[in-house]
Amino acid sequence: MDGRSNSTGNAREWRRLRALELRTRGWYQRDIAEALGGRVQTISRWLARARVKEVPRSSSPTRHWAARPDSCPSKDA
């Protein structure tokens, strides 16, 4: 394996981690894709994989970032 493929893999992993960080800060997938120079579909796939890894198999699946922060119903309603 040459050095280029390793640095490419590191860059890709950095982008995945950055996408996850930005999403947890409330960024939309299209904005993350634009900021990181990727496609919305790719960002969506990365975030979906991160959600699957985060949810223990024994618990029910939940969507941690599926809803936009401004569209979540308030607890007062």
pLDDT at 33: 96
Over 70: is that where the pLDDT of 24 sits?
A: yes
Mean pLDDT across the stretch 54-76? 54
Question: Which tens digit of pLDDT belongs to each residue from 29-42?
Answer: 999 999 999 999 99
What is the Cα–Cα distance from 9 to 15, expressed in whole angstroms? 10
pLDDT at 73: 52
Q: Which two tokens stand for residue 53?
A: 């890894």
This prediction has a pTM of 0.59
Mean pLDDT across the stretch 2-29? 85
